[in-house]
Structure formats: C-alpha cells, structure tokens
Structure 1
Amino acid sequence: MTDENTQGTPEPEGSGDAPFQFTDKRKVDPTSGEARDASEAATGDAGTPESSDPLAALDFEPEGDAAESAEVLQAKAEAAAHLDALQRERASFTNYRNRSLRDQEAARTQGTQDVLVALLPVLDDIERAKQHAELSGPMAAIAEKLDASLARFGVERFGTVGEEFDPTVHEALMHNVDAEATATTVSLVVEPGYRIGDRVVRAARVGVVGPE
C-alpha cells in the first residue's frame, strides 16, 4: 500500500537532476570593481551569448566627411559661388540706393536754392519795409507766411547787429574803427544773408566796427 501511494504521487516541476542556472548581466565585476567587456557582460557566467547582433559579422566602416562624393563637393562649391555673387549684388544695390538718395537730396537743395535766388529781390524789399516800419496789416501777414514757407524748405535768414564778424558768412561793405572795441562786430545790416543747411546762398552784407 505504501508503494502504491509513492508511485501515484506526481513529482514537483523543476525537481529533476538539472541544477538551476542564472545569467549575470552586470556590467561591472562585483569582485574587482572593473568594467566588464561588452561580450563578457552579454555572455554572463554560463558562457552562452544572451543575444546576437545581426550586423556584428559585417565588415564595413561608415564613411566620414572626407569620403563625400564628388557631386556633393561640386554642389557645395556652386552654392558658395552663388552666395558670393548674391552678396556682391546686394552690396552694389546698397551703394546704388545710397547714391540715388544723395542725388535726390542734392537736386532738392539745388531746386530750393534756385527759387530762393529768384526771390531775393522781393525778400530784400520786405526787409527794408520792416526796418522803416512800412510793413503792416495784410502785407505783414503775407510776409510772415512767406518766411514760414521758406523755413519749411530749410531756408534760414542770418545777419544781426552785434554778432561777431565772420568773413565766411559776412560781406563787409563798410568798416569803422572804435578805440573801445575789442573785436570786429556787425554794426549795420544792409542785406541779410540766406543759407540752406550748411550751404550759404548769399552772404550777409553788413557794416562792421572794430578796434584800431
């Protein structure tokens, strides 16, 4: 009866003669503390590879920058040439634009100067009328509007009594001496001067007084 019970009892799984095995996948050797070789870490203690790389048996090396094809090098050379041509064209256009702007400003200034020269006799008559208090009423308002219109185009009137004489902007029509004078100054304004920006259209015609 005992033999029958023994023969009828099933043995547990994994209780055969084959011993239990495990694979050590650690990348660092726990004994020496040194890094394991990649093949050793993959094989483990059992000496059986865990997995195989399908590309490991292929004998090739990836091509680097030095191995670029002739077509790529030619394309880069053409791109560099096109970029250089574009930069030159852009610089040429910038120079042309700046030159055009300077020419436009010069033409505008010249046109304003031509109109101012044509109006100088009228402006001189208006100034003489102001000095003699003969300008009043509507004519005074018209004269003010004319001055405002010229100012919008950069026209400036200069030359006043008491300012120091400057031969670059003043034309001395008469000269008097004064023992007490320490510098040559404007004593009389015959005709005021006019300029547009830094360009003197007409120098102020004045009388001056200075030391002996």
Structure 2
Amino acid sequence: MKRSNSRTPGKVNCPEGSLAGTCAATYTAANLGQSTEGRPEQRMAAYRPTYRKGIPILLACAALLIACGGAEYRYTVPEEMCGASVHAEALRGLLPPGDVIDAAPRDIRSAKTCDVTVDDEVQISVTGYSSDETEDALTYARSNEFPEPEEVELIDGGSGAVWVDGAVAAWSCRDPSTYDSYTHVLAVIHVPGDHAEGDERRERVADFARSYVAGLAAKLDCDV
C-alpha cells in the first residue's frame, strides 16, 4: 500500500530540528505550487514574499490598535461639580476618554441642572428640585417609568433608587437659619453614556450618586 502524500492546505509539519526560515520557505513554496529545490536564489525568492507581505499586515494591526484601543484620558477628572464635591474615581467611572472635560450649571424653570461634558458631549446630567413635600425616590423613579429601578441607600436619612442609566436621591434639608423648617430635596441623575453594561453600570452609577449627593448635601448645608 502506498502512503498518501496529500497535505492539509494551510498547514506544514516542520521536521524536528529544522530551521524556521527553511520550513517557512517550504510552506510558502508549497502554497504557490513551487519547488524549493534548486538554486539558493529560488529558495530565497520563495521566502521573501512571505516577509514582505507580512509588513503591511502588521502595520494594519497596529493602526487598528491605535484607532480602537489607544484612546486616552487627556483631561484631569475634577473633584468638584458645579460647586459640589465628588470623588474623582467615582466620576471617572462614568466618563469616556477624551481631551476636554467641563461641568457647567444651568437653570431649567425652578430646577437647577449640572451637566458634565467630555469634548462637548453630555455624559452626566444632574437636576435638583426642592419642594415642601417629601418625595420617595423609588416611587418617583417608577412613576417616571425609568427602566427597572432598584431601591438603594444613597444618603443617610433619605431614600434612593438606581437604574441602568440613572439614579434619584431624596432627602430632607433643615433650614440652617431656623432649624424649624425643612426643604425636601430631590436629585435626579441621568447618565446617557454607555461605558459599562449591566450590573457593573448600575454599580458605577450608584457609586457616583452616593458621592455627588453627599457633596450636594454639604453644599446646601443640610443636616443629614
């Protein structure tokens, strides 16, 4: 019985102890339907195309890595948003790479909003409301049909809820001048960016909310 000389296309079994260059040349020539026997120039001609064609491939891979995975944080994450302190790491967890970060307040009717932008795109928006009535955070989230809100503790003595792209915290702030009256504060946080998914995203939103709400309560001189 004759042994079959067929080979599996795309594979070469290099003999043990053979030189890598010789084996590569054999593989290239086999794919081209050429023989590596004969003059050294013929063997080198079979080997060189493999080397030269490999350069553009490597350069293309490097370009993809730079374009897709080489983004950097060229800005310094602040420790304050619109006058309220915040932990930089908690804030960074919701921000993308970029060049310029900014946090600017704006008024919307009776509410105040703080927008955090990276390269002019809004990444976090916090809106604060005040009223004479107590608000429950989870009830507020459900009534506004936020996606699957979960009750969490965001501030001592208050209520909180978190969902995949936002959070809300509610607490009472005593009037520092009289200590007899209270203002009920509601902070609604929206995170339109998609830099994390699922449970990890919720955890990052919750970490940021706890940090920012604590800073906001301190700014308002709330006794919580």
TM-score bucket (shorter structure): 0.3 to 0.5
With the length of structure 2 as denominator, give the TM-score of the two structures: 0.33
Which structure: larger Rg?
A: 1
The structure showing larger relative contact order (alpha-carbon pairs under 8 Å, at least 6 residues apart) is: 2
With the length of structure 1 as denominator, give the TM-score of the two structures: 0.34
Higher helix share: 1
